[in-house]
Structure 1
Amino acid sequence: MLKVQCAEVRFRLFECGRFFLALIGAGVLASAAFADAEPTILAVADFEFKDTSGEVRDQTAEHEARLKAFGVALHDGLSGNQKIDLVALPCQTEQCTIRDPGLVDLSKRARTVSAKYLLIGQVHKMSTLVGWVKFAVLDLNDNKPVCDRYLTYRGDTDEAWRRAAEFTARDIEKHCIP
């Protein structure tokens, strides 16, 4: 009788072992499937700039340089993510914003480069100390925003704008990429 019970216990352990091996195998296959998932194809429009600070000194050249650096830092931050495949918009003019050539045209251009999503935005200098980054990620298939966010930053320096761009990239990765 003892031999029968031992054989029965061994058989059940063998069945449990096979079950756990099957679970482990399924987990490995599932993780491989997720690892091979297609990256999100994202087109990034140039951000616009708005200054309502009312400062007397003309800072147009400084802000244009900072806006370009903001775009480079944002692009660099997003391009480091393996879940995102950035594609360039085929804009004919120097600007490629929601104002010029416009949202409808930008969406069409993003679709021509196989983008599934379009990132648009604006940097707004409200005062000497306070700035905002307003952006949206649009789903080009559904024609609706996936994400629409306002971020604030402090300061009107190269460093403040760079940090704002880096934070914006992390926020997009965390909250806006499906």
Structure 2
Amino acid sequence: MQDTNSWCASRWRSRASAVLTMLCTVVALLFAAGRLPAAAPIAVAVADFDYFDTSGEVVDQSAEHRARVASFAALLRDNISAQGGYRVVSIECPDHPCTATSMSQNLFIAAARKAGARLVVYGGIRKMSTLVQWGEIQLLDLEAEKLLMRRTVTFRGDNDAAYRHAANFVSDTLRETMPKP
């Protein structure tokens, strides 16, 4: 009888020890998860882009250019949103397009801050000739009050595909430069 009791007691202690170990592990994991909350997404404002046509072409393409420049900014917004960890916010301004040059620097930054942005992407595109366009893209960290990136990009073509290609390249460049959430 003694051997049976000790065998039962030993087995009970072994099971209790295993249950206690699992319980401690679960509690430790829950505690660690509670101490490390998920990072909030970083708010990013992508302003409209300025456009300058210095090509001297005879045909007025201003409507097409406005549409392409607007789609360029929209694609940047979509690409940033799709990255995860970032939340795109809209800058409100009295007149559209809402660009960094359409209002004073102080008003532009105030509008971005009012929108809740930590980061602001802005710039402009210039058409030099029928084949060559270039853009200047800037990334400003409002929290650190620091320009994180100023990049000049060139692209060939004056069509939707050229603008899409340029926007995807700029999105990749921003992804490498933006602070990680």
Structure 1 and Structure 2 fold alike (TM over 0.5): yes
Give the aligned residue type for 1:146. L
- Indicate yes or no: 2:162 matched with 1:153: no
TM alignment of 1:96-107, pairs within 5 A: 96-107=98-109
User: CA shift at 1:134, angstroms?
Assistant: 0.8
User: CA shift at 1:123, angstroms?
Assistant: 1.2
Residue 40 of structure 1 corresponds to which residue in structure 2? 42
TM alignment of 1:15-94, pairs within 5 A: 33=36, 36-94=38-96
Aligned equivalents of 1:144, 1:162: Cα separation in 2: 28
8 Å Cα contact 2:46/2:73 also seen in 1: no
| CA-to-aligned-CA distance 1:63-121 (integer Å, 9 cap, x gap) | 11111121221211111011211111122322211111232211101111221111111
**DSSP-derived class of the 1:115 partner:** coil
TM-score (norm 1): 0.75
Larger Rg: 2
| CA-to-aligned-CA distance 1:116-174 (integer Å, 9 cap, x gap) | 11111111112211111211111113332011111111111111111111221121111
Out of 140, 143, 147, the position equivalent to 2:142 is 140
RMSD: 2.3
Aligned equivalents of 1:103, 1:120: Cα separation in 2: 12
Q: How many residues align?
A: 151
**Which runs of at least 4 in structure 1 moved beyond 3 Å after TM superposition?**
none
TM-score (norm 2): 0.74
Residue 171 of structure 1 corresponds to which residue in structure 2? 173
Residue 8 of structure 1 corresponds to which residue in structure 2? none
Identity of aligned residues (%): 37
Q: Which runs of 5+ in 1 are unaligned?
A: 1-24
**DSSP-derived class of the 1:85 partner:** strand
**DSSP-derived class of the 1:109 partner:** helix
Aligned equivalents of 1:41, 1:117: Cα separation in 2: 6
